[in-house]
């Protein structure tokens, strides 16, 4: 049985706020383009920062959305309208990820160069093409769902596989970097899969705040994420090699503590508490996404940390650009929802009636 | 043919002539050192001493920076020298992350002048014009000098001849490496660096 879903267009007030944030973000990006990457908190030690962390969060979430729609072909958990909305959000996240990479590269033409190099020896090229594949899959899936109310089992299976490959490629991208022992363990893949599931279910909760299944899935993924995060950090701090131990102590009580405790307390325990005690779906979803972002920031910052240097702190232009990108994402989703308004096809109507 | 360098730790006494000549020749921005010397203190007083570790890009045979590069900007010449084609570099910085020797630098768009508040001199302006903001740079093993039959500037300027440049496949250098138990830094990562260290 389908539950009540938030299929109404996005309120204008939210779109207005998103537009202001988007303008601020674009302004900050232009400033970065003119002055150079020196306006970021990055340096020659820490070369991947907030933009890449947010990219991992957003793309992981988008891939999870695509996978969930794929799963719904085997288990009847989503209505056609919900599938459309989720696919639209998935498409938005993939476009958002593309924007983030463009910002990180500092020049839009650079993305074109990745697309035309076809150097599949590089995992970055794999990541690019898997992202493109997931984007087009989501797009065609959307067209199919709007036409036939369903993508079919084969399409569902392909979508699940593509989404999984994308998340795996991103975790391998980090793991394959030599000399960064924090990223070399299998925990990187596990944490990428769990965080994708957290963000994906948080995204769906934003669309379907009253859906009990989504609520339970988010609850489960948050618990898994909490266990995995604490296990990784405390294992490293208590039994790891001296290098790992130093890094984990930095996370627990040093310069990285803000990120770690931010993730654990604000991004994991607080949403768990809210899920169990006083249900506030929007806050829960946003806190879960924030927590995942904090987790990715410390993973990147600590993985690149070198003895004697300060732990990476994002600069103000970086923060504004990230908030602006989120604004662009909200606007884009609003536009896409408007453009792909669920049409009342005879088949869809029939399904709605049978459900009622 | 495999160009490389042998660094004799017995001879290096940390004068940093290599560091300075490299900066002078290549005009690298502030904080960027393609050639550098790490100094550490070993032992306890009265047996304490300073030890020096000169470094540069290792021009690895299995260069991870070359394989991770998505556009082929990082490439390896037939003579073993690893270079960056700045016209192809997109500034993704994955080569920097993959380098276990921290030998690569990103051009964040630093000012031409080395000293804050002072205008760049003509030499600094000329050097800065060669740099491309938003790309990665590294030691070229003075490829321009090698192509003209010279040796890298750091090897030429070293007063104790601690930096020995040449073809690592030559009998002379092979013998030197074997006789002095030469080793490669972080050999465990399997990049097969073209820089060998001769222990003290």
Q: What is the mean pLDDT of residues B52-58?
A: 96
* The predicted structure's pLDDT at residue B160: 96
Are B105 and A44 within 8 A, CB to CB? yes
* The predicted structure's pLDDT at residue A7: 53
pLDDT band at A355 (very low <50, low <70, confident <90, very high): very low
Contact call for residues B195 and B168 (beta carbons, < 8 A): no
User: How far A16 CA sits from the closest chain B CA (Å)?
Assistant: 33
Q: Total structural domains in chain A?
A: 1
Q: Which domain holds residue B77?
A: 3-189
Q: What are the chain A neighbours of B189 within 8 Å (beta carbons)?
A: 178-179
Q: Which residues on neighbouring strands pair with residue B50, listed in sequence order?
A: B41
A47 touches B at CB < 8 Å? yes
Are A123 and B32 within 8 A, CB to CB? no
Q: Which residues on neighbouring strands pair with residue B165, listed in sequence order?
A: B5
* The predicted structure's pLDDT at residue A352: 45
User: How far A300 CA sits from the closest chain B CA (Å)?
Assistant: 11
A180 touches B at CB < 8 Å? yes
B90 domain-assigned: yes
Q: What are the chain A neighbours of B101 within 8 Å (beta carbons)?
A: 179
Token pair belonging to A172: 């391998």
User: How far B109 CA sits from the closest chain A CA (Å)?
Assistant: 5
A307 domain-assigned: no
Secondary structure (3-state) at A126: helix
Q: Total structural domains in chain B?
A: 1
B200 domain-assigned: no
Please count the residues of chain A: 356
A110 touches B at CB < 8 Å? yes
Residue A354 has pLDDT above 50, yes or no: no
Measured CA angle at A169 (ends A328, A219), to 5 deg: 65
Q: What is the mean pLDDT of residues A60-71?
A: 96
B198 domain-assigned: no
Contact call for residues B193 and B101 (beta carbons, < 8 A): yes
Residue A343 has pLDDT above 70, yes or no: no
A31 touches B at CB < 8 Å? no
Lowest mean pLDDT of A331-345, B60-74, B93-107, name the range: A331-345
Contact call for residues A93 and A345 (beta carbons, < 8 A): no
DSSP state of A309: S
Q: What are the chain B neighbours of A306 within 8 Å (beta carbons)?
A: 102
Are A178 and B72 within 8 A, CB to CB? no
- In whole angstroms, what is the distance from residue A139 CA to residue A142 CA? 5
In chain B, the residue whose alpha carbon lies closest to the alpha carbon of A46 is B97
* The predicted structure's pLDDT at residue B167: 97
* The predicted structure's pLDDT at residue A356: 36
Residue A353 has pLDDT above 60, yes or no: no
Residue A349 has pLDDT above 80, yes or no: no
Nearest by CB: B109 against A35, A104, A173: A35
Q: Answer with the residue of higher pLDDT: B82 or B109.
A: B82
Q: Which helix (H) or strand (E) holds A277?
A: none
Token pair belonging to A251: 């996370």
Alpha-carbon dihedral B150, B151, B155, B156, rounded to 10 degrees: -10
A248 domain-assigned: no
Token pair belonging to B68: 């991770």
- Tens of pLDDT, residues A227-242: 999 999 999 888 877 8
Lowest mean pLDDT of A84-98, A207-221, A332-346, B26-40, name the range: A332-346
* The predicted structure's pLDDT at residue A75: 87
- In whole angstroms, what is the distance from residue A88 CA to residue B122 CA? 55
Q: Answer with the residue of higher pLDDT: B121 or A5.
A: B121
DSSP string, A230-252: HHHHHHHHHHS-HHHHHHHHHHH
Which CATH number do you get for residue B84? Answer: 3.30.70.20
A226 domain-assigned: no
Token pair belonging to A323: 């908030």
A255 domain-assigned: no
Q: What is the mean pLDDT of residues B171-189?
A: 95
A157 domain-assigned: yes
Residue A3 has pLDDT above 70, yes or no: no
Are B106 and A124 within 8 A, CB to CB? no
Contacts across the A-B interface (CB distance below 8 Å): 95
DSSP string, A4-56: ----SPPPHHHHHHHHHHHHHHHHHHHHHHHH-GGGSS--SS--S-HHHHHHH
In chain B, the residue whose alpha carbon lies closest to the alpha carbon of A47 is B93
Q: Which domain holds residue A72?
A: 11-176+315-343
A75 domain-assigned: yes
The rounded mean pLDDT for chain B is: 94
Q: Answer with the residue of higher pLDDT: B142 or B29.
A: B142
- Tens of pLDDT, residues A142-155: 999 998 888 889 99
Q: What are the chain A neighbours of B106 within 8 Å (beta carbons)?
A: 37, 42, 44, 47
Q: What are the chain A neighbours of B88 within 8 Å (beta carbons)?
A: 113
B43 domain-assigned: yes
Q: What are the chain B neighbours of A100 within 8 Å (beta carbons)?
A: none
Contact call for residues B166 and B26 (beta carbons, < 8 A): no
Residue A4 has pLDDT above 50, yes or no: no
The rounded mean pLDDT for chain A is: 90
Extended beta strands in B85-146, E state: 104-106, 136-138
- Tens of pLDDT, residues A247-287: 899 999 988 999 999 999 999 999 999 999 878 899 999 99
Q: Which of A287, A302, A308, A305 is nearest to A233 (CA)?
A: A302
Q: What is the mean pLDDT of residues B148-166?
A: 96
Q: What are the chain B neighbours of A178 within 8 Å (beta carbons)?
A: 64, 98-100, 189, 191
* The predicted structure's pLDDT at residue A344: 52
Residue B171 has pLDDT above 80, yes or no: yes
A45 domain-assigned: yes
- Tens of pLDDT, residues B99-143: 999 999 999 887 888 888 888 889 889 988 888 889 999 999 999
Residue A36 has pLDDT above 80, yes or no: yes
Q: What are the chain B neighbours of A105 within 8 Å (beta carbons)?
A: 90-92, 134
A28 domain-assigned: yes
Alpha-carbon dihedral B82, B88, B94, B99, rounded to 10 degrees: 10
B196 domain-assigned: no
């Amino acid at each position: 049985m389908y539950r009540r879903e938030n299929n109404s267009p996005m309120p204008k007030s939210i779109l207005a706020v998103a537009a202001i944030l988007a303008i601020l973000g674009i302004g900050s990006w232009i400033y970065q383009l003119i002055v150079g990457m020196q306006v970021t908190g990055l340096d020659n030690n820490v070369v991947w920062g907030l933009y890449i962390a947010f990219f991992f969060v957003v793309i992981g979430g988008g891939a999870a959305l695509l996978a969930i729609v794929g799963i719904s072909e085997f288990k009847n958990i989503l209505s056609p309208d919900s599938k459309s909305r989720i696919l639209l959000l998935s498409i938005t996240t993939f476009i958002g990820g593309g924007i983030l990479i463009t910002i990180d590269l500092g020049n839009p033409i650079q993305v074109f160069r990745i697309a035309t190099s076809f150097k599949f020896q590089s995992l970055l090229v794999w990541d690019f093409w898997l992202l493109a594949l997931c984007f087009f899959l989501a797009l065609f899936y959307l067209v199919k769902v709007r036409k036939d109310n369903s993508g079919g089992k084969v399409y569902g299976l392909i979508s699940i596989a593509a989404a999984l490959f994308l998340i795996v490629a991103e975790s391998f991208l980090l793991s394959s970097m030599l000399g960064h022992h924090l990223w070399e363990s299998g925990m990187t893949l596990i944490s990428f899969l769990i965080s994708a599931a957290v963000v994906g279910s948080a995204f769906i909760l934003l669309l379907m705040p009253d859906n009990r299944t989504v609520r339970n899935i988010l609850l489960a993924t948050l618990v898994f994420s909490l266990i995995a995060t604490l296990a990784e950090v405390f294992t490293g701090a208590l039994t790891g090699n001296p290098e790992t131990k130093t890094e984990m102590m930095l996370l627990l009580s040093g310069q990285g503590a803000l990120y770690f405790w931010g993730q654990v307390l604000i991004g994991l325990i607080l949403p768990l508490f809210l899920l169990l005690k006083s249900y506030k779906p929007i806050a829960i979803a946003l806190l879960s996404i924030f927590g995942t972002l904090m987790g990715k920031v410390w993973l990147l910052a600590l993985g690149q940390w070198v003895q004697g240097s300060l732990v990476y702190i994002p600069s103000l232009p970086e923060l504004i650009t990230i908030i602006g990108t989120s604004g662009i994402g909200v606007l884009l989703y609003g536009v896409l929802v408007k453009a792909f308004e669920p049409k009342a096809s005879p088949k869809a109507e029939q399904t709605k009636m049978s459900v009622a | 043919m495999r160009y490389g360098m042998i660094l004799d730790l017995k001879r290096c006494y940390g004068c940093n002539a290599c560091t300075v000549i490299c900066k002078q020749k290549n005009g690298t921005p502030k904080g960027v050192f393609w050639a550098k010397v790490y100094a550490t203190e070993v032992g306890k007083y009265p047996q304490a001493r300073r030890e020096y570790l000169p470094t540069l890009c290792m021009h690895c045979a299995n260069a991870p920076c070359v394989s991770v590069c998505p556009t082929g900007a990082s490439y390896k010449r037939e003579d073993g020298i690893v270079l960056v084609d700045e016209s192809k570099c997109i500034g993704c910085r994955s080569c920097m992350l993959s380098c276990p020797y921290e030998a690569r630098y990103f051009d964040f768009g630093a000012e031409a002048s080395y000293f804050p508040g002072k205008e760049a001199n003509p030499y600094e302006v000329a050097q800065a014009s060669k740099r491309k903001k938003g790309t990665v740079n590294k030691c070229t093993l003075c490829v321009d000098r090698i192509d003209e039959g010279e040796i890298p500037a750091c090897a030429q300027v070293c007063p104790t001849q601690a930096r020995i440049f040449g073809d690592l496949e030559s009998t002379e250098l092979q013998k030197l490496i074997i006789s002095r138990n030469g080793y490669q830094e972080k050999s465990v990562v399997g990049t097969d660096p073209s820089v060998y260290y001769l222990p003290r």
